Structure 1
Amino acid sequence: MCGITGIFDTRGRREIDRAVLTRMNESQHHRGPDEGGLHVEAGVGLGHRRLSIIDLSTGQQPLYNEDQSVCVVFNGEIYNYQELIPELQTLGHVFHTRSDTEVIVHAWEAWGEDCVRRFRGMFAFALWDRNQETLFLARDRLAVKPLFYALLPDGTFLFGSELKSLLAHGGLARDIDPLAVEEYFALGYVCEPRTIFRQARKLPPAHTLTLRRGQPVAEPKEYWDLRFSLASPCTVEEACAQLNDKLSESIRLRMIAEVPLGAFLSGGVDSSAVVALMAGLSADPVNTCSIAFDDPAYNEAVFAQQIADQYRTNHHSETVASDDFDLIDTLARLYDEPYADSSAIPTYRVCQLARKHVTVALSGDGGDETFGGYRRYRLHLMEERMRSAVPHSVRRGVFGLLGRVYPKADWAPRVFRAKTTFEGLARDSVEAYFHSVSIMRGPMRAQLFTDRFRSEIDGYSAQDVFRHHAGRAGTDDPLALIQYLDLKTYLVGDINTKVDRASMAHSLEVREPLMDHQLVEWMATLPSELKVRGKEGKFLLKKAMEPSLPNDILYRPKMGFAVPLARWFRGPLKERVREAVLGPRLAATGWFNQDYLRHLVDAHQSGARDYSAPLWTVLMFEAFLRNVLDAPLDQPAIVAELQGSR
């Protein structure tokens, strides 16, 4: 795994400042501490930081074709590179390394922009073709690897694996995009392709961007999308057998490495399934890593140990204090834009632990989206059955009224907490799902923001992101639709972002076999009842793994990877929350209603309401303002901090 960055003069051949390019490259030193390299010529500069995984001796980057007219910097892994090499050799291409990176330059020469369709893996790369005067950028299908870019007013094009490399250039304006702020406070992250800065963008999943010298910058072009046919006629038994084969193949491909390799093991279904199959593919014991918590309500260590014992893994576990909240400013500097998933804290810690023992770790990320594991999926399907029984005009009137007048009762038994259900039934499917996944729902955001801010977003709602994707989903199946929405939003903006930044902070490569695009495509051919059946999510995965995993692992309630925010904000973080949320930095923006912020703090700390998730969202936005927006140009602190943490 690596970090890439670069500068391209879209208008001509202006000299690239090597010192600036070096500064951009070194801002991502944590992503690739083993080696660094630059390519500089008239109007073009490419930078690379390397974490050596495959072809340790000759895989340095930037990497070139035979006559050095094509140059690439690459972050990720092409898992099928060993299959592509002979095919490219028959076309006359000569390989000088054993690395997957060299496949990219020859695939570009052979197939042009369509080369990405041949790659199976996680990747973000930039390729310069001198003969065609073309810069080509690409990102993998499910956006496991990040890629940011910006076009400056003078025609200078910047790109990088992290926003900090663009900021290090010095020419990127730090003007915040108010629409990104609306998305952040709704969802806890800024959705692709937007970033927190007006001038910068994320290359969306499964997109390429082609820039030609002297020509206007084109829009990104999509090369893949997921289609839910749901039409496979196979039985449960046949599907289980095929799933085992496909999972085993995906894991086998991701076990190719020339450095120590292991897996995260939480004790949940997804990571346990990955470890079980790894054990069957490895002649040596699998290295496994897990985090234990000193608070029993958040601790799954006993289940992780059960799987470790069953498969005799080399298991490494560390206990994290439930008051492990010292990472707030570190996370703000690491993520570069507001990011509000508090599970970033234990994710950071488990990556820190894993890096002590391995350089590559397989994870179970993507299992909930692929196999239908989220509890919210089951609740949404229940609501959909009720919505389908009553016309929308009637539902909006009756249930909308009930939702407005029914009291919110977080303290009450679940059977009496009907307000959210009533509100959901009054909405259409997309609106209801957006509402269910929002951290701060519409009425809360209406109170949070000032009139000044609302005028700046001019009626925009983060719900528009969901509407856009729903219009392209190509399915009316209730489960398939929300799986598609999650693949385009939550998986990319939250899960993959969290894992990439947390792992690369410790120079750890994480591979996600449950996000293999061929596996995801195959799962999309299966009927939804093979994913969610009754009250059981991940139905097919659990059935397939019954011979390999005990029932108390497969069928126990899902815990998640959480931290005790509610208790923190009433206890050890009480004053810090109050100072940050009601302090001068947020007030200086003019965007937030100070009376409503005070209500959030007072109501939570008095125990009247649980506002822990909204407060964490506000807290992390304030940390972003202090640590990123107000930071010096080259941001040296985060590099030194991450190096010191190892």
Structure 2
Amino acid sequence: MCGIAGFTRFHCDLGDETTLERMGEAIRHRGPDAQGSYLQGPIALHHRRLSIIDLSAAGNQPMHSHCSRYTIVFNGEIYNFLELREALANTGYPFRTHTDTEVILALYARKGRDCLADLNGMFAFALWDQEAETLFLARDRIGKKPLYYSSINGDIAFASELKALLAAGLVQREIRIDALRDYFSYQYIPDPKTIFEGVFKLEPGHWLEITAGGQRKAQYWDLSFLANATEEDQATKLLGKHIQKATRRRMVADVPLGAFLSGGVDSSGIVATMSQLSEHPVTTCSIGFDEKRFNETEFARIVAEKYATNHHEYVVKERVAENLLEIARYFDEPFADPSLVPTYFVSKLARQQVTVALAGDGGDEVFAGYEKYAIDAIENRWRERVPAFIRHNLLHPIATLLHRSPFGLLRRAGTLLSALATEAAMGFYLSNAQITDAQWQRIASEDTQERLSDYHPSAIVLDTYRRCDGTDHLSRILYTDIKTFLPGDILVKVDRMSMAHALEVRAPLLDYELVEFAAHLPSALKFRDGEKKRILKAVFKPSLPNAILDRRKMGFSPPLADWFRDELRNLAEEKLLKAKDGLPGYFKVERIRELWTQHQARTHDHGAVLWSLLMFQLWWQEYMSDA
């Protein structure tokens, strides 16, 4: 895993070697093993390396093709590079290294932008064609690796993380107000937006080409949910082969390798598969919390003992506030998924043992594993049975009344009725939004609401839901999450927290061929009669005990409500109620104080909203206070 950065100089001088050095220093944590720059004419490239494959200096970047026409900086891993290398070598390409980086160079020299169809992996790269004076940027299909960019007077600056662009002074720190609204609904900022005006994320499955004459962006991959008629037994066997193949490919490394083990079905299944493929005990790492209802380590221990893994555990029990300040620095946009805390600690623990870790990421989004899918299925059945005029004219007013209740159970019932009162896509948004419209209107300042005009963050879910070619509701919401929640939340969290410790994380269940296979399966093989991840559990049934397969999903989240009344109380009180800038510029401080008072009095649980407010303020303090 690595970090990349750079810029073009077709029309204006965006910087020099010193600028590149500043960009590289801002993302040093992504690649502590080596660094390199290339500055020639209209192109400037920088690379920070975390050595995984071919540890020799020959693997350092920027890397040039044998003919010197092409130069690349690359972040990621190409899992099928050995097969590609063999095929390219047979055509006469004179390879000088054993890296996957050189395979991309050779493939691009042969196929141009069409090379992306052949790459199986996680990647973000920038490739300069000296002869054509063209910069080609690309991001992997699922969005495992990040890539930010900004157009500046006809030129472009790009980097693995936003902080590199900020460090170089290449972008203005002007808050994009609709992105701020998105953040409070989703706990992250969906691509292609960022928190700043004029700065964008390259979407997963897209490429961007830049010349002196202009820029062109295109999508090279999408996911189809048109179901194939497949027998369950046959589909289970084929899925098992996909998982074995994807796991085996991700176990290739020239450095120590292990796995995250939460005790859930996904990570446990990956550890079981690794153990079956490995001649040596797998190194596994687990994180837990003091409070039992948030602690999964006992389940992780069952799997660790079954496969005699080299197991390591860590319990998060103190100094949460102190660590949170450190953790927040790695997110250069507001980000509020609370599972970032255990992800930070499990990455830290894993890095003490290994340099590469496999994880179960993607199992829930690809195979319908979240509880929200079961709830949404029930909602949709009722939505189909209750006439629209009743849902719109009766349920909505009742929901509005329930939302005003001081009791959490009644407010959740109000959210359910709101979802039932509307159409399926909007219902999915309402059921999963982290803040209601009423809460937003109560805490957002009049100026903030006026600047938003008629914008509503549900547009992101609605547009994505409608793009899916699947014919049933479950297919459409899985597509929506794979296109939004997965790359915007889950993969950002894992990337930033693992890179904070120079750890590479690989996700076999996000192999694009496996994801495509799963998408074409009938929805009933993923969710039926209340059983989530039906076919995935069938694959892992011979390998995992029933205690793992049948347990209720716990999730990877800390006890927020308790933290705000204990470990985080002093920090949160200072940041939320005494801030001089940041929150006061966009919100009504008196309303935030009201939420705080109610939460401390235990009359309400405002943990989710308070957490979003706190993480925004910590981000502001790090990236805006001294701007």
Residue in structure 2 matched with residue 642 of structure 1 by the alignment: none
Amino acid of the structure 1 residue aligned with 2:528:
R
Measure the CA separation in 1 of the matches of 2:408 and 2:21. 57
Deviations 1:182-221 (A, max 9, x none): 1001111111000001021100010000001x21223x21
* 1:10 and 2:10 are equivalent in the alignment: yes
Measure the CA separation in 2 of the matches of 1:412 and 1:74. 48
SS at match of 1:189: coil
Select the residue among 227, 235, 238 that pairs with 1:230. 227
* 1:394 and 2:393 are equivalent in the alignment: no
Matches within 5 A, 1:364-403: 364-403=360-399
Contact 1:16–1:43 at 8 Å: present in 2 too?
no
Q: 1:599 offset after TM fit, Å?
A: 1.8
Amino acid of the structure 1 residue aligned with 2:423:
D
Measure the CA separation in 2 of the matches of 1:78 and 1:245. 20
Deviations 1:10-45 (A, max 9, x none): 327x58410111110111111000010111101211
* 1:265 and 2:264 are equivalent in the alignment: no
- Structure 1 window deviating more from structure 2 (430-439 vs 469-478): it is 469-478
Unpaired stretches in structure 2, ≥5 consecutive residues: none
Contact 1:285–1:314 at 8 Å: present in 2 too?
yes
Residue in structure 1 matched with residue 75 of structure 2 by the alignment: 75
Amino acid of the structure 2 residue aligned with 1:107:
L
Residue in structure 1 matched with residue 270 of structure 2 by the alignment: 274
* 1:344 and 2:343 are equivalent in the alignment: no
SS at match of 1:536: coil
SS at match of 1:123: strand
Matches within 5 A, 1:528-547: 528-547=523-542
Contact 1:69–1:131 at 8 Å: present in 2 too?
yes
Measure the CA separation in 2 of the matches of 1:234 and 1:410. 49
Residue in structure 1 matched with residue 100 of structure 2 by the alignment: 100
Residue in structure 1 matched with residue 291 of structure 2 by the alignment: 295
Measure the CA separation in 2 of the matches of 1:54 and 1:393. 61
Measure the CA separation in 2 of the matches of 1:120 and 1:157. 27
Amino acid of the structure 1 residue aligned with 2:299:
F
Contact 2:157–2:170 at 8 Å: present in 1 too?
no
Deviations 1:552-596 (A, max 9, x none): 101111111111111121223223322222223356753212232
SS at match of 1:418: helix
Residue in structure 2 matched with residue 177 of structure 1 by the alignment: 176
RMSD of equivalent CA atoms: 1.7
Distance of aligned partners of 1:84 and 1:417 in 2 relative to their CA distance in 1, 3 Å threshold: closer
Contact 1:288–1:314 at 8 Å: present in 2 too?
yes
* 1:432 and 2:427 are equivalent in the alignment: yes
Measure the CA separation in 1 of the matches of 2:120 and 2:85. 13
Distance of aligned partners of 1:450 and 1:268 in 2 relative to their CA distance in 1, 3 Å threshold: same
SS at match of 1:217: strand
Residue in structure 2 matched with residue 406 of structure 1 by the alignment: 402
Residue in structure 1 matched with residue 551 of structure 2 by the alignment: 556
Contact 2:583–2:617 at 8 Å: present in 1 too?
no
SS at match of 2:321: coil
Contact 1:409–1:417 at 8 Å: present in 2 too?
no
Deviations 1:88-139 (A, max 9, x none): 2233322111110001111111111111111000000000000010000000
Amino acid of the structure 1 residue aligned with 2:220:
Y
* 1:308 and 2:307 are equivalent in the alignment: no
Residue in structure 2 matched with residue 468 of structure 1 by the alignment: 463
Contact 1:151–1:157 at 8 Å: present in 2 too?
yes
Measure the CA separation in 2 of the matches of 1:614 and 1:585. 20
Matches within 5 A, 1:592-631: 592-631=587-626
Amino acid of the structure 2 residue aligned with 1:230:
A
Contact 2:225–2:519 at 8 Å: present in 1 too?
yes
Moved segments of 4+, more than 4 Å: 407-414, 586-589
Distance of aligned partners of 1:245 and 1:125 in 2 relative to their CA distance in 1, 3 Å threshold: same
Contact 1:448–1:596 at 8 Å: present in 2 too?
yes
Measure the CA separation in 1 of the matches of 2:593 and 2:251. 51
Matches within 5 A, 1:413-492: 418-492=413-487
Distance of aligned partners of 1:188 and 1:413 in 2 relative to their CA distance in 1, 3 Å threshold: closer
Matches within 5 A, 1:55-74: 55-57=54-56, 58-74=58-74
Measure the CA separation in 2 of the matches of 1:15 and 1:28. 19
Contact 1:248–1:277 at 8 Å: present in 2 too?
yes
**Aligned residue-pair number:** 626
Amino acid of the structure 2 residue aligned with 1:441:
T
* 1:493 and 2:488 are equivalent in the alignment: yes
Select the residue among 575, 578, 586 that pairs with 1:580. 575
Measure the CA separation in 1 of the matches of 2:504 and 2:129. 28
Measure the CA separation in 2 of the matches of 1:619 and 1:412. 21
Residue in structure 1 matched with residue 112 of structure 2 by the alignment: 112
Amino acid of the structure 1 residue aligned with 2:447:
R
Amino acid of the structure 1 residue aligned with 2:518:
M
Distance of aligned partners of 1:413 and 1:398 in 2 relative to their CA distance in 1, 3 Å threshold: closer
- Structure 1 window deviating more from structure 2 (494-503 vs 403-412): it is 403-412
Distance of aligned partners of 1:573 and 1:44 in 2 relative to their CA distance in 1, 3 Å threshold: same
SS at match of 1:146: coil
Measure the CA separation in 2 of the matches of 1:245 and 1:398. 50
Measure the CA separation in 1 of the matches of 2:564 and 2:596. 9
Q: 1:300 offset after TM fit, Å?
A: 1.0
> Given the two structures, how large is their TM-score scaled by the length of structure 2?
0.97
Q: 1:461 offset after TM fit, Å?
A: 1.2
SS at match of 1:537: coil
SS at match of 1:30: helix
Q: 1:327 offset after TM fit, Å?
A: 2.6
Deviations 1:210-255 (A, max 9, x none): 001x21223x210000010122x22222121111111000000000
Measure the CA separation in 2 of the matches of 1:397 and 1:525. 38
Measure the CA separation in 1 of the matches of 2:403 and 2:475. 32
Amino acid of the structure 2 residue aligned with 1:312:
A
Amino acid of the structure 2 residue aligned with 1:321:
K
Residue in structure 1 matched with residue 566 of structure 2 by the alignment: 571
Q: 1:631 offset after TM fit, Å?
A: 4.2
Amino acid of the structure 2 residue aligned with 1:59:
G
Measure the CA separation in 1 of the matches of 2:267 and 2:535. 16
Distance of aligned partners of 1:70 and 1:194 in 2 relative to their CA distance in 1, 3 Å threshold: same
Contact 2:226–2:471 at 8 Å: present in 1 too?
no
Residue in structure 1 matched with residue 214 of structure 2 by the alignment: 216
Contact 1:3–1:160 at 8 Å: present in 2 too?
yes
Q: 1:533 offset after TM fit, Å?
A: 1.1
Identity %: 42
Measure the CA separation in 2 of the matches of 1:116 and 1:425. 42
Contact 1:16–1:42 at 8 Å: present in 2 too?
no
Contact 1:76–1:123 at 8 Å: present in 2 too?
yes
Amino acid of the structure 2 residue aligned with 1:125:
F
Measure the CA separation in 1 of the matches of 2:484 and 2:490. 9
Measure the CA separation in 1 of the matches of 2:84 and 2:261. 32
Contact 1:323–1:568 at 8 Å: present in 2 too?
no
Measure the CA separation in 2 of the matches of 1:379 and 1:311. 34
SS at match of 2:97: coil
Distance of aligned partners of 1:503 and 1:122 in 2 relative to their CA distance in 1, 3 Å threshold: same
Amino acid of the structure 1 residue aligned with 2:8:
F
Amino acid of the structure 1 residue aligned with 2:391:
R
Distance of aligned partners of 1:441 and 1:588 in 2 relative to their CA distance in 1, 3 Å threshold: closer
Residue in structure 1 matched with residue 46 of structure 2 by the alignment: 47
Contact 2:582–2:621 at 8 Å: present in 1 too?
no
Distance of aligned partners of 1:496 and 1:410 in 2 relative to their CA distance in 1, 3 Å threshold: farther
